[in-house]
Amino acid sequence: MSALAHRRFLKMNGAGNAIVVLDLRGSDLTVAAGDVRAIARHPASAFDQLMVIHDARTPGTDAALRIYNTDGSEAGACGNGTRCVAYAMLDDPAMARPAESGRLTLETRGGLVSVKRMAERAFTVDMGRPKLKWDEIPLAEPFQDTRRIELQVGPIDAPVLHSPAVVNMGNPHAIFFMDRDPATYDLARIGPMLENHPVFPDRANISLARVTGPDTIVLRVWERGAGLTLACGTAACATVVAAARLRMIGRGATVHLPGGDLVIEWRADDHVLMTGPVALEWDGTFDPALFAGAA
C-alpha cells in the first residue's frame, strides 16, 4: 500500500489553474512519479499541478515545496499553486500553524518565493527575477537576443507562428505574440510539438499572447508536462516581461486567461509580482485503491 493512502489533500484552483495541495510536513514521506500520475487520473484529485509541502530545509523559510506536473515530472515554480499553498498554510484548520502570519517564504526548485496575503482569498507572490540569457532559459544553442528567437511553425514563406520571446520564470517559457485572438489557434495540436522542440532541452511552456491595450494581455497556455490549462502564473509573468522588453506595454499588466485574471508587475528591482485569487473546491483523502499498480 502506498504511504500516501488516506492522506488528506485539498482540491483548489488559482484563477482556474487546477491545484492539489498535499501536506507532508512532520513526515519523511516523498511522492513518486507513479503516485503523481495516479492522483492526476482520478476525477476527485485531478490537477494541473500537485503542490507538496515539506518541512523547511533552509533557515528563515516556512516550508519547502515540490511541484509536480500531471506526467510526474517536476516544475521549478507555480505561482497559482503557491497562492493555494499560502491559503492552506494560513487558513486551513488541519494545515495552518499558529506561528504563521500573513506572509510566508517558501523554498522551491526555482528559488525562494515569498507570499503576502492581500485579501481573504487573494495573495501576491514574489516570483523573483526573470532569467533572460539563452543558457539560463535554457536553449540548445546560443541566441544573443532572447526577445525574439528563430523558431516557426508552418511553411517558411507563410508560418503559422514565428519568432517567440523566451523567458525563464522558474520554468522555461516561449511566448508567441499575435494580432488576433489566441483562441483561434489550435494550441492543443501546436503545443506538444513546440514543448518538445529540440531547441528546448528541458522542454518549455508554450504561450500564445495578444496585447489588447497598454496594460492588458489575453493569454492561452500549453503547460510543459500538463497540457492545456485554464491559467498559468509563471506564463503570465513571463509574458509581461517579454512584452515589456519588446516595448509593447509598460512594466505591468492584467493578464486575461481562460480561468481568470492575474495582475503582474515587473518592478524596478527586477522582481516580478503576481496577484490573483484562490478558491477551495473540496478536501478529501486518497483512497488506497488509487495507487494500485502505480509505477
Enumerate the active-site residues.
78, 232
What Rg do the C-alpha atoms of the chain give, in angstroms?
19
Q: Is the dihedral of CA 206, 141, 107, 31 positive or negative?
A: positive
Of 220, 217, 206, which is closest to residue 240 (Cα–Cα)?
A: 217
Q: What is the per-residue DSSP string for 206-254?
A: EEEEEEEETTEEEEEEEETTTEEES--HHHHHHHHHHHHHTTSS-SEEE
d(CA 173, CA 186): 18
d(CA 30, CA 146): 37
Please name the amino acid found at residue 278: V
Cα dihedral: 40, 41, 43, 49 (round 10): 20
Partners of 168 in beta bridges:
131, 172
Of 15, 174, 29, 167, which is closest to residue 83 (Cα–Cα)?
A: 15
Cα dihedral: 187, 191, 193, 198 (round 10): 140
